[in-house]
A and B are shown apart, each in its own frame.
Chain A
Amino acid sequence: MPSSVSTLTKERTVESVAAPPPPPARSRLSRWGAWASVAWFLVPALLLFLVFVLAPIVVAVWTGFFKWGGIGPMADFVGFANYTKLFDDQVFIGDLWRGLYLILMSVLVQLPFALFTAVLLNQKLRGRAVYRMLFFAPYILSEVVTAVLFTMIFLPGAGMADHLAGFLGLEGLQGKWLADPSTVMPTLFVVMIWKYFGFHMMLFLAGLQSIPSEILEAASIDGAGAWQRFRYITLPLLGPTIRISVFLSIIGSIQLFDLVWVMTAGGPNHSSETMAIAMFQFGFKRYQVGYASAISVVLFMISLVFSLFYQRYVLRRDLSGAVTSGGGR
């Protein structure tokens, strides 16, 4: 210890006395200093990230290799057995398909619908602020409140949905909705749209407002019709917003849990089960923590791989320039 202190003082004196600090040219030394202070500032955040994000991931991956009931020591190392069992399980394969269904429906139905309402509400319309608020309001509700609300609406025999179906002459649907394996997914999806389309609509509205009206005017003067203006000006300029909206809605669909848990708990007979539901069932109902960890790892890998590819290939042009790269100097 004393030796290092003395080196420090000595070097310091040498540096300050002998060599006048080299003017603006960045020495290796001062760059190190800059890095060090950056690192110091990052430490608290990094530490939190390490403790609350990375460590749990490592623990989950590790737990996934064990047959473990959640109590006592993890002793039964089973390698990849949890994963082979997982992909042999028809219900879990079904969970994957249902995840894909939700993704496709959100991207192909929900987003166009949100875009449509956004374009509609971007026009000069009497009371458009009221409409915007109305459509956005469901997003503010908690998932559980929404789910309980729709459980009432779809209540067999007494719910609003049954009355409405009777009124519209769709008696075949009465008493089904969330209670029949063939109708539960579309019904769930309707609730999802109701809940989330307002959020995407808001994103699109913000995007639309950033499109300069001069361009649209110029196009009108050049003789472009409404559709042409939308197709060749609005849509391309809205590209970044659409891409981020698609990203958010896919990640949201992959991780969907609370709405489904409260409305159907994955039923009837697993027909509305998502991966997150399966994870909860095995972890907290069956106490098969090792197996549930394996599910969580699969869920995580799907989200991770998707995010990386999406950012690399789709979002790249939107992000370029937005991120300061460290090596650019």
Chain B
Amino acid sequence: MASTVPSRRSFLALAGLTTLSVALTAACGADESGGNLSADGKVTFEWWNIATTEPGKSLFPQIATAFTAAHPNIVISTTSLENEAFKSKLTATTSSGKLPDVYQTWGGGVLQQQVDAGLVEDLTDLLDWSAQLTPVSLQAYQIGGRTYGVPYDIGMVGFWYNKKLFAKAGITAPPATWAEYLGVVKKLKAAGITPIALAGKEKWPGHYYWAYLAMRVAGLPALQKAATSKDFTDPGFVKAGVHLKELVDLQPFQPGFLGAGYATPGGQAASVGNGKAAMELMGQWGPSVQKDAGADLGADLGFFPFPTVDGGVGQATEVFGGGGGFALRKGAPKEALDFLKFFVLENESKLLASNGYLPVVKGAESRLTDANKKVVAESLVKATGFQLFLDQAYPPAVGQEVNDSVADLIAGKKTPEQVTASITEAAKSA
């Protein structure tokens, strides 16, 4: 073997290979370091957000530019990704044990997994300005008494309804109890109006019903207890399913709802916006998506909180929702936190004026002009309890099982008991 003289060709191949492997090694090592002090004394940090649609699309870069203009030694390298793309990319990044310096988070179970893996900076002692934020807005980012995120938006889910269609069906006041609510649905049906629009294809809008009913029947403490005991078979949860089934049995949803999307043409938001369905159970972003996908109902659009259930322990002032925030990678430059302070406190009025976000700073709700936004913000201020979206509060495997099982219940494929059994099974094995 040793006697074989490498021919010129194989030598060239070898040379080519060396170049290639050098390039590969370089490519692999390229993004090892996060943002840090560079030779010229500049601090660079990464910022991953999901502002790919207006108003955030133009507002977020504006805020970043204002910050770097005031701090010339700081460079922010921004990555804006669409919601789902962001989640996939962040999953891929975290599985290699890394995170961007500042990144979008919704708190809850996913944040908890990242915290458990030791990847997230504990902000509890650094956040000396947290007293200026509303307690409800911070709740999603608090795990075991420590704070791991800074909110910039907070909202809640409730019924967005078409006042004109309600009046047409002879309904004078929004329902306050579940029994009244079912009555409203029947009246709407009798008047030939589709009562509710639902995006069956996407599953998460359906889980709002079950979650709210569980809050109203079994109560907030029961939901929080179930998260730790991993047992969702509480009779209250079964009863929540039974109540949801009462609604489903009235066939209140638009035709073909099982295949309908949320923000897609002809989907849930468009049906309500176009006046083809009388209401939807949706978060604070509901009206803007209606406008995007269908039409703006304007003054005809109203909001009422989820009704209470007779015999249930939950109050009408306990709200279900979530918002958006930013978390820091463990060891991120401290300038990143300064940026978040600037973003949240000093730009609150800009965020509110853009009409895309709801206040996280105490007292800011009075600055809202939009009547519906005001109702939501005031309900949040008056809230006596808060529950984060279940598909975010629980670990992803459990949250998705809630969505899937409730979707099966709505489609008539699972009984209320089977729903709680499936969620319990997922929680125990997660």
Using a CB–CB cutoff of 8 Å, the interface residues on chain A facing chain B are 4, 7-8, 11-12, 15, 29, 32-33, 36-37, 40-41, 43-44, 47, 51, 69-72, 151-152, 154-159, 174-181, 184, 264-265, 267-269, 281, 284-289
Contacts and interface: CB of A to CB of B under 8 A. Distances in A.
A40 B255 contact: no
Interface string B398-424: 001100000110010100000000000
B10 interface: yes
B400 A286 contact: yes
Interface string B197-212: 0001111000000000
Nearest to B115: A71
A182 to B, nearest CB: 11
A155 B397 contact: no
A11 B16 contact: no
B258 A37 contact: no
B266 A180 contact: no
A268 to B, nearest CB: 4
Given A29-B3, A32-B1, A151 B264 contact: yes
13 contacts: A40-B13, A44-B16, A47-B20, A71-B97, A151-B261, A157-B254, A157-B256, A179-B259, A179-B260, A267-B203, A268-B407, A288-B430, A289-B95
A97 B184 CA distance: 43
B7 interface: yes
B109 to A, nearest CB: 9
Given A69-B430, A71-B117, A269-B413, 19 more contacts: A12-B5, A33-B4, A33-B7, A37-B7, A37-B9, A41-B10, A69-B397, A70-B91, A70-B95, A71-B113, A155-B256, A157-B266, A159-B266, A174-B255, A267-B259, A268-B201, A269-B411, A286-B397, A286-B401
Contacts of A157: 254-256, 266, 276
A32 B21 CA distance: 25
Q: Which of A4, A37, A180, A265 has the most CB of B within 10 A?
A: A37
Q: Which of A7, A156, A174 has the most CB of B within 10 A?
A: A156
Contact of A287 (B1, B14, B113, B259): B113
Contacts of B62: none
Nearest to A285: B400
Given A71-B94, A177-B259, A37 B397 contact: no
A41 to B, nearest CB: 5
Contacts of B21: 47
Contacts of B203: 267
A155 B265 contact: yes
Contact of B256 (A29, A179, A288): A179
A284 B2 contact: no
Nearest to B397: A286
The 5 closest A-B pairs by CB, nearest first: A156-B256, A179-B259, A268-B258, A179-B256, A40-B13
Contacts of B250: none
B10 A40 contact: yes
B2 A8 contact: yes
Contacts of A265: 201-202
Given A71-B119, A179-B259, A41 B254 contact: no
B265 A178 contact: no
B118 to A, nearest CB: 8
Contacts of A177: 256, 259
B117 A72 contact: yes
Interface in B357-411: 395-397, 400-401, 407-408, 411
A50 B10 CA distance: 20
Interface of A is mostly: helix
A273 B411 CA distance: 16
Interface of B: 1-7, 9-10, 13-14, 16-17, 20-21, 24, 87-88, 91, 94-95, 97, 110, 113-114, 116-119, 200-203, 254-261, 264-266, 276, 395-397, 400-401, 407-408, 411, 413, 430
B114 A285 contact: no
Contacts of B397: 69, 286-288
Contacts of A286: 396-397, 400-401
Nearest to B94: A71
A37 B9 CA distance: 7
A196 to B, nearest CB: 22
Contact of A156 (B20, B118, B259, B400): B259
A140 B427 CA distance: 44
A44 B118 CA distance: 38
B404 to A, nearest CB: 8
A184 B94 CA distance: 36
Contacts of B116: 71-72
B265 A41 contact: no
Contacts of B3: 8, 11-12, 15, 29
B4 A176 contact: no
Contacts of A37: 7, 9-10, 13
A70 B94 contact: yes
Given A71-B117, A157-B266, A267 B20 contact: no
Nearest to A179: B259
A287 B254 contact: no
Given A11-B2, A29-B4, A44-B20, A268 B259 contact: yes
Contacts of A264: 201, 259
A30 to B, nearest CB: 9
A69 B201 contact: no
Contacts of B110: 287
B89 to A, nearest CB: 10
Nearest to A280: B88
A298 to B, nearest CB: 19
Contacts of A154: 259
A178 B9 contact: no
B257 A179 contact: yes
A56 B398 CA distance: 28
Given A37-B9, A269-B411, A179 B113 contact: no
A267 B200 contact: yes
Nearest to B396: A287
Nearest to A41: B13
B91 A175 contact: no
A179 B16 contact: no
A284 to B, nearest CB: 5
A300 to B, nearest CB: 20
A85 B261 CA distance: 31
Contact of B17 (A12, A43, A158, A174): A43
B120 to A, nearest CB: 11
Contacts of A44: 13, 16-17, 20
